[in-house]
């Protein structure tokens, strides 16, 4: 019994002497709670961008009122388009999740008692978002007309504006598993790569073998690249296993375009590994670095849209999500596998992921020099 207590006491004492471990032990629950509070602790746990094309241009301000009304729900952020083709282009890249078209004579029909029809096109690449957007728009129009009629006549009117859906996206609506598989493939980019790389430097330092490396004429960038290769290998194994399991167990109807998937997975991994190496350079003890990587991974996954749509986040957190490289990797994987994206469509995510990887490696080298070689 004494030995058990002795071990426990020693470990607890060690814990209290590693400031970094204490920090991350506290930071983890704090960050998670703050994040959950920000995401779920509000009345409307959703905000999606939608586009509106107004061909009516009425004099009574009814169609303008629709835009104002949609914005005021807090459920949507509305972007106005003058050209429907432009709006559908953005729908195709998921920049907007739905496009509402208000046709000519919409107001006229409405005021003359003729059924007034609006058209909506919904981005189906994420079934959860598609359902919420569709239901949200339909409910809005129903409630909007009721309010409009009551304000003008003082009477209740129950016949709503009809909303018809149009099929504009080339692919078929997808199921939940088709949506989640690209998200699952983002997991090793964020976790496996980062966790593997996190151990790279800090464990060498702990074991003392970093001295051998540092006493040799190898340059810091080459140390980091050597570590990157090993981490890439391990990440590739994770990706391969996950892909094979996903393809066999879930059998999703997805486009497994290997020549396009490989560069995205490679660049995503490089970003994750670079982030891990940065943590590894700063970490003073393996436990501290491991805690930091786990906390960062768990926190970042909320922002990348890998598991649940980024629209569930408040708008300011959505903005934060858009500066995380992994968000672009997750989106690019969905674009390839769901939307049959071409290389041209992927130029922006490829450029973004390359740019962020270069920046992160530059920071890594700097930290290696400042923290490891000091």
Residues making contact with other proteins (CB under 8 A):
207-209, 211-219, 373-374
Encoded tokens for 347: 């130029």
Shortest distance, position 226 Cβ to other proteins, whole Å: 9
CB of 30 to other proteins, least distance (A): 32
Q: Which residue's entry shows tokens 């400042």?
A: 370
Give dist(CA 353, CA 325) in Å, integer: 6
Contact 293, 195 (CB under 8 A): yes
Phi, then psi, of 131 in degrees rounded to 5: -65, -45
Closest separation in Å from C-beta 196 to other proteins: 16
Looking at beta carbons only, is 214 or 322 nearer to other proteins?
Answer: 214
Residue partners of 314: CB distance under 8 A and separation at least 6: 38, 39, 42, 47
In angstroms, rounded to a whole number, what is the distance separating the alpha carbons of residues 246 and 234? 18
Report in angstroms how near the CB of residue 176 gets to other proteins at its nearest.
Answer: 43
Q: What burial class does residue 231 get, using C-beta atoms within 10 Å of its C-beta: 0-12 exposed, 13-18 middle, 19+ buried?
A: buried
- Which residues contact residue 128 at a Cβ distance below 8 angstroms, ignoring those fewer than 6 apart? 176, 179, 308, 309
Give the helix/strand (H/E) hosting 31.
Answer: helix 19-40
Q: Which is nearer to other proteins, 230 or 245 (CB)?
A: 230
Nearer to other proteins by Cβ, of 68 and 209: the residue is 209
Query: Shortest distance, CB of residue 373 to other proteins, whole angstroms?
Result: 8
* Closest to other proteins by CB, 154 or 208: 208
Nearer to other proteins among residue 196 and residue 292 (C-beta): 196
Considering the complex, what minimum distance in angstroms separates the CB of residue 370 from other proteins?
A: 11
Residue 206, C-beta contacts closer than 8 angstroms, at least 6 positions apart:
285, 286
Provide DSSP, 299-332. Answer: HHHHHHTSSS-GGGS-HHHHHHHTTSHHHHHHHH
Cα–Cα dist 147/110, whole Å: 13
How many other β-carbons are positioned within 10 Å of the β-carbon of residue 126? 26
Query: Between 11 and 373, whose beta carbon lies closer to other proteins?
Result: 373
For residues 20 and 284, is the Cβ–Cβ distance under 8 A?
A: yes
In the complex, what is the shortest distance from the CB of residue 232 to other proteins, in angstroms, rounded to a whole number? Answer: 18
Nearer to other proteins, 18 or 206 (CB): 206
* Structure tokens, 166: 């149009």
Rounded least distance, CB 209 to other proteins, Å: 5
Residue with Cβ nearer other proteins (90 or 204)? 204
């Amino acid at each position: 019994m004494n030995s058990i207590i002795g071990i426990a006491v020693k470990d607890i004492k060690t814990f209290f002497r590693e400031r970094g471990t204490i920090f991350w032990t506290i930071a983890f629950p704090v960050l998670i709670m703050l994040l959950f509070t920000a995401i779920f602790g509000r009345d409307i746990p959703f905000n999606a961008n939608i586009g509106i094309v107004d061909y009516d241009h009425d004099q009574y301000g009814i169609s303008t009122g629709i835009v104002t009304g949609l914005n005021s729900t807090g459920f949507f952020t509305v972007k106005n388009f003058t050209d429907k083709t432009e709006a559908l282009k953005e729908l195709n890249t998921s920049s907007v999740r739905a496009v509402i078209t208000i046709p000519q004579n919409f107001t006229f029909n409405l005021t003359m008692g003729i059924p007034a029809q609006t058209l909506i096109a919904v981005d189906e690449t994420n079934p959860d978002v598609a359902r919420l957007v569709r239901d949200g728009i339909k409910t809005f129009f129903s409630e909007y007309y009721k309010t409009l009629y009551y304000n003008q006549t003082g009477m209740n009117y129950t016949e709503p504006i009809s909303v018809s859906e149009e099929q504009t996206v080339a692919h078929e609506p997808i199921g939940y598993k088709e949506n989640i598989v690209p998200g699952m493939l983002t997991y090793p980019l964020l976790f496996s790569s980062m966790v593997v790389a996190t151990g790279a430097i800090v464990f060498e330092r702990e074991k003392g073998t970093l001295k051998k490396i540092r006493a040799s004429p190898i340059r810091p960038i080459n140390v980091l690249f050597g570590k990157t290769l090993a981490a890439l290998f391990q990440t590739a194994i994770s990706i391969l296993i996950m892909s094979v399991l996903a393809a066999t167990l879930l059998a999703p109807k997805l486009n497994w375009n290997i020549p396009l998937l490989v560069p995205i997975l490679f660049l995503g991994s490089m970003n994750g590994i670079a982030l891990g190496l940065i943590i590894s350079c700063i970490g003073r003890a393996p436990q501290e670095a491991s805690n930091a990587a786990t906390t960062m991974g768990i926190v970042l996954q909320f922002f990348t849209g890998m598991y649940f749509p980024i629209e569930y986040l408040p708008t300011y957190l959505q903005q934060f999500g858009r500066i995380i490289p992994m968000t672009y990797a997750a989106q690019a994987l969905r674009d390839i596998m769901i939307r049959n994206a071409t290389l041209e469509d992927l130029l922006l995510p490829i450029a973004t992921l390359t740019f962020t990887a270069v920046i992160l490696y530059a920071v890594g080298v700097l930290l290696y020099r400042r923290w490891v070689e000091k």
